[in-house]
Amino acid sequence: MKSHIDKIVLYGKDKTRRIVSFTTGVNIITGDSKTGKSALLEIIDYCLCSSHCSVPKGKITEYTSVYGIFMSINDELYLIARQNPDLGGKMLFNKINHDYSIDELTLSHLDESAFSSVNGVQYQIESALGMTITNIHSAYEQKKKPSLRNMVSYLFQHQNLIASKFALFYRFTNDEKRKEVIDQFPVFAGFVDQHYYTDLIRLEELRQSLRKKKHALSHKSKQADYIQENLVPLVEDYYALIEKTFPETSTTTDILTIANNLPSFDDTDLFEEDSIIQRYHQLHQQIKEKKEQRHTIIQQLESLESADSDGTVYQNRLHELEEIACIASASPHTYVCPICGKDVEELNDIDEQLRSARLWLSQEMHFTSKYTHSYAEDIRKLKAESERLRDEINNLLNQVRTIEKNYITSHQLVTQREKIGYARSKIQLFVDTLSIADNSGLDEEIAAIEAEIARITSLIDGYDIKGMLKKAESFINRNMNMLAKSLDFEDEFKPVDLNFTLVDGKYDLYHHQNHRDKIYLYEMGSGANWLSCHIALFLSFLHFFASQQDSPMPLFMFFDQPSQVYFPNGLISEDDIKQSSDIEAVNQIYNTIFDEVERITNETKITAQIIIVDHVSSEILNGNTRFKNAIRCEWRNGKKLI
């Protein structure tokens, strides 16, 4: 993407104009303080759709009716104009023929009806730059789309920013803006397009749908357990009452089909209620068996808990003995009577026994540490099984009580018809209160969604954003350190090893001291170091964006007062000129900028643009020829923007 500022035009309220022209490469506006140099940056920023006008109040704002910049984008020329805020602040974006005459573009030629909203013109500028991404957020994650306003953080180094030790980027004092600028770097670098974000949005939609489908499947599974536990016993009671065999069932659908198509009761049949009594006894038998199973588990549980406790006590006791044994350690020598000089056999025997005991203790502790283990997980499993059996027993007891109450000892349901009718009603009521969704085919739907998620994930992974960021970070760091060799760093930071953290999204700059310690920008002393870091970093960004064929980033950069570190008052006296080291340092800065622009041109075949406003002149810089040839305006001796 080739782009540069061709002209800045101020259309006066008195129908006059002020014009500042530029070319590709390095452009220098030099002059005294209060001549309007720094206002040029604010004018460009305002014409690039800033939400407010930062042009200094005074002569410039009183003079100007419309601010305009002529901007070349891929060899097409555009006029971007904006009304003074007190006149409405609307904007205009027009394509201009290259053979235009600046005299033809007077204020009277700018039709007021052609001015429109800032947002509309911003969209036109972004489209001309090739930034076609219109949406990056889904219903689940709201994000602002990439914006021209976030691009300017890479374009401007204001007077109070270019040598700051606390800040690197314009507009980063706003945390939200900072995050947006960092998040949108892959767009500005040309790594991604709208297809990427469309796939991301679609991926989030599919994941949301998958979560809902899996939730429905989980609900279906829980409902199946609920039906098996509560509806099946009711239907079995009914079949027992009418003395029919309950059919084999395997699915929830089968159970519901049976419940909705119960066999009818025929008065002509003779019922003796043997089947319901038989079912009653069967339930009692199941309860007995499950109680026996639970009793066995409880015994196992008590044994394990006891063994676990005993093992812990035993190990603790061994540790206590070890501590005692360490205190009463055996002597490696034999005991001798201090009077007669003979061996004291009794003490030697005790010492030998102590050594044997310590050896046994060591072996026992090794054995127990190797084979003794905690039974906590086994205990947990047994408790869970005990609780499961308890719940099943309670469920069976409830079924027994239901049969006793409604079909054996009931005084209200006397006849067989009444009992069967009651059982049928309970089944019907249970089925009617079920909320049954048609979840057939859920497994197939989930499989299809998962396959689509895998396909889209593969497409997104194909962009390899992380890998591209790593390459960009490596390029910027390598380029910074190449530039740093010709910039003014203090000796304690040499050899310079600058690092910029692009991949992790922190956007921190630090110097690696002795390949070990990180010295961040705010920890460095001297304005010369801070200035050199800013220039090295932003020239490297400019070089990187120029090297990216699909980058929509405008390829110009504005440096405001880079010499202020050496001449803070802006007034350069004879004494200042005698400080040859400062003059040489400023010369180094400018020569580094010239060399880097040439290198960008040679490597990318695109000539980037640098606009610099400063106090210094070519005479002060010992007649620096390249500096002199790059001067576009020299505002001294009464000459100024307005």
Is-contact 43 10, C-beta < 8 A?
Answer: yes
Q: CA-CA distance, 136 to 183, in Å (whole number)?
A: 11
pLDDT of residue 371: 43
Q: What is the pLDDT of residues 358-394, one digit of tens each?
A: 676 666 655 555 444 556 667 778 888 888 888 788 7
Contacts for 92 with CB less than 8 Å, ≥ 6 apart? 79, 80, 81, 82, 110, 114, 115, 116, 121
Q: CA-CA distance, 531 to 512, in Å (whole number)?
A: 18
Return the ∠ at Cα 236 (arms to 231 and 241), rounded to 5°: 130
Q: CA-CA distance, 458 to 464, in Å (whole number)?
A: 10
pLDDT of residue 613: 97
pLDDT of residue 2: 92
Is-contact 26 577, C-beta < 8 A?
Answer: no
Here the tokens at position 222 are 């829980």
Rounded to two decimals, the pTM is: 0.68
Dihedral over Cα of 500, 501, 507, 512: its sign: negative
pLDDT of residue 63: 96
Q: CA-CA distance, 130 to 190, in Å (whole number)?
A: 10
- Give the type of residue at 139: A
pLDDT of residue 135: 74
Return the ∠ at Cα 443 (arms to 438 and 449), rounded to 5°: 110
Helix H or strand E segment including 614: strand 609-614
Q: CA-CA distance, 323 to 439, in Å (whole number)?
A: 66
* CA proximity to 461, closest of 258, 69, 199, 150: 199
DSSP 423-490: HHHHHHHHHHH------TTHHHHHHHHHHHHHHHHHHHHTT-HHHHHHHHHHHHHHHHHHHHTTS---
* CA proximity to 537, closest of 497, 474, 480, 599: 480
Contacts for 81 with CB less than 8 Å, ≥ 6 apart? 11, 47, 66, 67, 68, 69, 91, 92, 93, 94, 110, 115
Phi then psi for 341, rounded to 5 degrees?
80, 10
* CA proximity to 37, closest of 626, 558, 576, 609: 558
pLDDT of residue 372: 45
Helix H or strand E segment including 512: strand 509-513
Contacts for 172 with CB less than 8 Å, ≥ 6 apart? 153, 178, 181, 507
Here the tokens at position 326 are 């360490």
User: Residue 374's CB: how many other CB atoms inside 10 A?
Assistant: 10
Ranges of residues in the chain with a pLDDT under 50 are 270-271, 330, 370-372
* CA proximity to 473, closest of 505, 514, 496, 495: 505
Burial of 340 (0-12, 13-18, 19+ CB in 10 A): exposed
Largest CA distance in the chain: 131
Q: CA-CA distance, 581 to 257, in Å (whole number)?
A: 97
- The count of residues in the chain is 642
Cα of first residue to Cα of last residue in the chain, in angstroms, is: 33
Residue 383: C-alpha distances to residues 293, 387, 418 (Å): 13, 6, 43
Contacts for 513 with CB less than 8 Å, ≥ 6 apart? 493, 497, 519
* CA proximity to 567, closest of 611, 522, 531: 531
pLDDT of residue 270: 46
